[in-house]
């Protein structure tokens, strides 16, 4: 139950828990439940009950911000793979806007809490990009596949967004993401990396005699299952990096880290100009507060990481005893899932890579480190994913973590 003497009011903040493919779909919903339980029933924050607050991997053509981005005060929303391609000042405006700002045509037609909000707390769930790449391949190579689109998509043909008019202007992923990932003192990518990713894909897609027999051409899914592990992993990773509509979440995750950092820097500069900037060690009075948490932190130390999350999100509105109970229960449930071989954990999953008939079953748990080394030693993947890994580690340190992604 919320303390009567608490100084933090969770009802004045909106909450947005962001995740990506293979970076916490189930965890994000658990964290939402933790926040609701942290202050007791009928006390903010509450859940919006939706799978996503707005459409994933989608944005307004004129701004680059997500469509219908309206966050309610005192409400926890979960969002997969948001497109934060807009200018930082516009993104800040969209995160903070309230009903009545003049841009609320799509705002909460169900009559949820529409009070003014003081700010937004963003919980950004990320993952080691090398582990994410391997997990992505394993997930889509399962039989039967959990997502049917892998049987129909062309992984090498560049995807575009449009205004809904086939003859109107089209926007590519590279055009949207390059300004963020190619800028700064330590750019994540080089200008020609998107072409290099596409070249890798084309060198693998329907190039063998077996894969391009007329009438029986291999699908993307068939390639993930029948190519040798290294080639299948490369193909899956090019899609998870370079295709923005059906994939691209590795680069989207990196871009959003940069964008959210730019938003907080923008606020700090504005407050500094007014001589109201708090000490560097205290950013609890920011209107937009961001905590970056990794899957590795939750698996390595579920109790401590959950406590950090609850302290950030709820402050003193939830008692220490309540937070410790929630964190202990999560740690216990997580350990039980690990010991019980939970279906959403791929560490010990067997996949056969389509070679059952020759007995080449492959235990991914025994191959993961070798596959990571393969990616790290590759010039393109090792460089770009390595840059993203360092970007994530820096973001984790900024959020009070150790910065370790292992």
The tens digit of pLDDT for each residue in 238-277 reads 999 999 999 999 999 999 999 999 999 998 887 777 666 5
Extract the tokens encoding 203. 């060198």
Segment 41-47 long-range contacts (CB within 8 Å, at least 24 positions apart): 43/1, 43/2, 43/11, 44/9, 44/10, 44/11, 44/73, 44/74, 44/75, 44/113, 45/10, 45/11, 45/13, 45/15, 45/74, 45/75, 45/76, 46/74, 46/75, 46/76, 46/113, 47/75, 47/76
State the Cα–Cα distance between residues 68 and 85, nearest whole angstrom.
14
178 and 29 in a common domain: no
CA 123 to chain centre: 10
Tens digits of per-residue pLDDT, 12-57? 999 999 999 999 999 999 999 999 999 876 788 999 999 999 999 9
| Beta strand extents in 159-274 (DSSP E only) | 160-162, 170-172
215 and 91 in a common domain: no
Pairing mode of beta strands 350-351, 362-363 = antiparallel
Please determine, for residue 176, whether its predicted confidence score (pLDDT) is greater than 60. yes
Q: Is residue 297 part of a domain?
A: yes
243 and 133 in a common domain: yes
State the Cα–Cα distance between residues 10 and 12, nearest whole angstrom.
5
Length of the chain: 406
Task: Say which range, 75-84, 100-109, 171-180, has the weakest mean pLDDT.
Answer: 100-109
Q: Is residue 396 part of a domain?
A: no
Q: What is the mean pLDDT of residues 164-189?
A: 84
- Domain of 206, in residue numbers: 129-247+348-386
Q: Can you give the pLDDT at residue 170?
A: 81
Q: Is residue 134 part of a domain?
A: yes
193 and 78 in a common domain: no
End residue of a domain, out of 340, 371, 394? 340
Structural domains of the chain, count = 2
Extract the tokens encoding 159. 């995807």
Q: Can you give the pLDDT at residue 214?
A: 75
CATH code assigned at 267: 3.40.50
Token pair 């964008």 is found at 259
Ramachandran sector of residue 24 (left: φ over 0; alpha: ψ -120 to 50; beta: rest)? left
State the Cα–Cα distance between residues 273 and 335, nearest whole angstrom.
48
């Amino acid at each position: 139950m919320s303390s009567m003497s608490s100084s933090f009011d969770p009802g004045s903040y909106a909450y947005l828990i962001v995740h990506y493919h293979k970076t916490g779909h189930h965890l994000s919903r658990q964290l939402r439940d933790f926040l609701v339980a942290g202050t007791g029933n009928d006390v903010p924050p509450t859940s919006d009950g939706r799978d996503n607050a707005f459409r994933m991997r989608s944005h307004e053509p004129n701004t680059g911000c997500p469509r219908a981005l309206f966050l309610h005060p005192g409400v926890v929303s979960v969002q997969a793979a948001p497109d934060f391609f807009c200018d930082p000042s516009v993104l800040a405006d969209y995160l903070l806007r309230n009903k009545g700002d003049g841009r609320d045509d799509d705002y909460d037609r169900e009559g949820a809490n529409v009070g003014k909000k003081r700010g937004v707390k963003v919980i950004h769930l990320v993952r080691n990009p090398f582990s994410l790449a391997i997990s992505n391949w394993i997930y889509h190579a399962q039989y039967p596949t959990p997502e049917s689109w892998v049987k129909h998509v062309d992984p090498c043909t560049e995807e575009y967004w449009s205004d809904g008019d086939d003859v109107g202007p089209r926007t590519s992923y590279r055009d949207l993401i390059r300004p963020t990932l190619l800028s700064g003192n330590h750019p994540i990518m080089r200008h020609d990396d998107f072409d290099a990713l596409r070249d890798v894909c084309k060198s693998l897609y329907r190039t063998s005699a077996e894969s391009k027999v007329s009438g029986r051409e291999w699908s993307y899914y068939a390639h993930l299952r029948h190519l040798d592990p290294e080639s299948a992993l490369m193909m899956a990773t090019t899609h998870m990096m370079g295709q923005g509509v059906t994939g691209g979440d590795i680069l989207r995750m990196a871009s959003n880290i940069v964008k959210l950092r730019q938003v907080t820097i923008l606020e700090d500069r504005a407050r500094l100009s007014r001589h109201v900037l708090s000490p560097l060690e205290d950013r609890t009075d920011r209107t937009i507060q961001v905590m970056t948490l990794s899957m590795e932190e939750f698996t390595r130390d579920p109790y401590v990481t959950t406590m950090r999350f609850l302290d950030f999100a709820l402050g003193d509105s939830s008692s220490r005893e309540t937070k410790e109970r929630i964190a202990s229960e999560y740690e216990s449930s997580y350990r039980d899932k690990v010991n019980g071989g939970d279906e959403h954990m791929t560490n010990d999953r067997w996949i056969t890579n389509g070679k059952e008939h020759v007995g080449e079953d492959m235990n991914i748990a025994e191959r993961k480190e070798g596959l990571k080394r393969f990616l790290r030693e590759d010039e393109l993947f090792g460089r770009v994913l390595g840059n993203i890994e360092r970007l994530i580690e820096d973001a984790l340190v900024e959020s009070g973590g150790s910065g370790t992604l292992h």
